[in-house]
Amino acid sequence: MFDEDKRLWAIADTVGTPFYVFDAAIIREQYFKLKTAFPSVDFFYSLKANPNLSIVRELVTAGMGCEVCSFLEFETAAAAGVGSDRMLFVGPAKSDRELERCVVAGIKAIVVESLTELERVDRLARDLDRVQNIALRLNPDFHFPGARLSMSGRATQFGIDIAAIDEVLARSCQHGNTRIAGIHVYMGTRILEPTTIANNTRQILMLASEVAAKLGYRLDFVDIGGGFGVPYHEGEEALDLDALRYELEPIISSYEAEYPRTKVCIELGRYMVASAGRFVAGIRQTKVTKGENFAICDGGSNVHSAAAGQGSLLRKNFPISLVKGNDRAPAAGQWTITGPLCTPMDILGKDVLLDRPEAGDLICIHQSGAYGATASPVNFLGFGQPAEVMVDGETITLVRERASIANLLNEQRPRSISGASRSREIKTSCNSSSTSVFQHPCLERLDDLKDLLIATGHKLERDTEAWRDLWADPIMRAFTLVGVPERYNGFSLGDTSLGIEDCGYSLHIAMIERLARFDASCILALQGPSLAGGAILKMGTEAQIEQFFSRYRTGSQGTFFAVTEPEAGSDPSLGISAVSATTGTPRLTARKMLVGNAQRAAIGLVFAKAAETNRPILVLIEPDRHASNVKIEHLQTFGLCGAMLCSITIDELPIDDNMILGGGNPSLRDGFLAINEVFERNRPIVAALALGTARGILDHLRATSKVAAHAIADLELTHAALLRRLEIVLAAYETGRPKAHEISLIKLQAVQFADRVIQRAFSLPSSAEFMMDPTLRKKTRDAKAFEYMEGASNIHAQNAFRSYVARMPQ
């Protein structure tokens, strides 16, 4: 058996069949060859061909931009790391939500299909006080011979007719919030002849020259589409890249010489990934019917509709090979390869010459990296999405889970929408239910994230950058940015499957508790506004708010809030960090400890005092800008590694008014109130983390041991009681009357409860077995680490007692 066959069997044994397997090295090589042939061209990957996040990330890392045409494709490209200036959004029916997302992100260009769409973009940009680049998609009068599927030069839903271009250009001058930055013409797809591509490109660039002359200014770019083909069927030859370079390079060079500041762009999807992918299905049975041989597989047109001929006038065979499950004598014959569907149209290959297949063998369909499962009716008959795997040298990675029956059923859970107001999207209000916030419907939907959080939590103990796996998930991305003002938030909860438009403080705490059941460390690793965001909004100037929050329009940003000091702990009144102006220029000297996320952060707040007046000051610093004065050291911790606690040493850092929160205007009282409010709002968060971690341990024990299930029933009741107590604290917050002693008390009780759960777990008869469980050991480490979150437990007890006494009559 060949090594590659052995690898396919290893994958099949691990993830089951059917599955897709993609080769990262082939993908990278394809881009390298393209860029070598056409170094001046700007290439964009068309996600419609294969939107798998790992594939997109490979191409973005290699240097490609992204062409997207849906909200999910946009978010996939963003999660893959593409910059907003490297993204094009296309499509004939863009929603306002999609357009707004593009404008907020400030992408390279929205490709508009009509004058009406241009006016919609302008209106949205005006409402957001932005100027958005657009590209006009044109439907030229000339035709494009040689394309298997023509997209222009005929009556179609795509683009603006050339006859209408003068009116569009004239009207565009009346719209001050859009700027025509380029044009886009897509000739067609699956072109295998270099001469066809060269001739089409020549005509498109001539059209671009005419448009630029009418505009009166140069275009930033001309998108000539793509359509480079790959050979699928017998008799087709691969596109000769050397021949294409010979014919196309002079045309592009001539245009660039005349328009040196206008980039030529080519968008490619199929060409980048088709040859890197294979589809593998297991043979369930073979049979002979009326003289015809059939091999019936567990995957068919439901997961690979292209191989079944969808979109083609005549179905032709893809390259197909057999991977035998045993050594046997060859017996070649012609076979029809079918899938599992109840339709005679479910044919993947007809009259394919193969050695005699047997049940248990694998069928491998090559050239399957593009337009595979995501372009197929995967839910037909309930089979669901197949697994997807990426190989890179010797490394094999599962990059898309197989659809689970539980998830498919969960998506169909009935949810009442009666009485809802008429709107384009019906969402659940986060405050609409009279039941407990800890029973909100969206919390059940978070359970789908369990595997992601558990896996990432383990990774965070050895890789501080593993938070990126969380950011790649749309729900976790939106959850990260809860608390970011709407005008800066490019990743709204309303754009997720949670069914909510916004998230109040109480629901946010409930979501934290639910996610902490899976892994609390992951929550602390999220690169969002942290505690500092609240202080910025309360005390910051408009410029400081913009400085702090603006990056969240397009991505994540780590932040920190540095208060705790080696001697003073988390009591800001006892800190010795100071800003001194004795030498003329104010300078900050500070020693901070137990500062979460500081080494990953782009910006943060440092609490200090004015040396001359003892007045509190919050200083806004960007560590990378002040590297010579700011030293950050990662502290090794026993648990909650996602918090990435650090020490910060700041020596003689020059300070100006723009770095002082509020521009130096807030009073002494304002400074302490800001700190107190931040910590006050943080304590229920810590309580939720502790309660969630404790409940996660209980759930794990119940799932793994019947004996444990009986022994922890009382603790489960205690957990429910503490949630009710926490909800009372949250209700006081919602009414604007938080009670400090109750806040500190619930935090203390939650941390103590987590410790109690651990003691119970390791007093059970099977405790030795539990100690060998890596997930349980990690949860135990995390639960023990709550001691160092805003000081030790005795500090919380003192705070609770002092606050309680302060409210007692004398």
**Which residues does the annotation mark as catalytic?**
342
Residue with tokens 């490619």: 268
Give the three-state DSSP class for 109.
Answer: strand
Contacts of 399 (CB under 8 A, 6+ apart): 22, 52, 53, 54, 55, 388, 389, 390
Provide the CA 368 distance to its chain's centre, in angstroms. Answer: 25
| CA dihedral over 474, 476, 477, 479, signed as positive or negative | positive
Q: What is the C-alpha to C-alpha distance for residues 99 and 116, in angstroms, rounded to an integer? A: 13
DSSP state of 187: -
All residues at 6 or more sequence positions from 361 whose CB lies less than 8 Å from its CB, including other chains: 282, 283, 295, 322, 323, 324, 325
**CA pair distance 263, 265, nearest whole angstrom:** 6
Residues 6+ apart with CB under 8 A from 183: 135, 136, 137, 138, 207, 208, 211, 219, 222, 223
Residue 74 has phi, psi (to 5 degrees) of: -60, -50
Handedness of CA 800, 803, 809, 810 (dihedral sign): positive
Cα distance between residue 710 and residue 760, in whole Å:
12
Q: What tokens were used for 529? A: 């506004």
Instruction: Please give the structure tokens belonging to residue 383.
Output: 């089979």
Rounded CA gap, 124 and 575, in Å? 48
Measuring CA to CA, which residue among 454, 389, 308, 448 is closest to residue 16? 389
**Beta strand pairing call for 149-150 and 132-139:** unpaired
3 state DSSP class of 154: coil
Element (H, E) at 91: none
From CA 173, how far away is CA 170, in angstroms rounded? Answer: 6
Token pair for residue 283? 């043979």
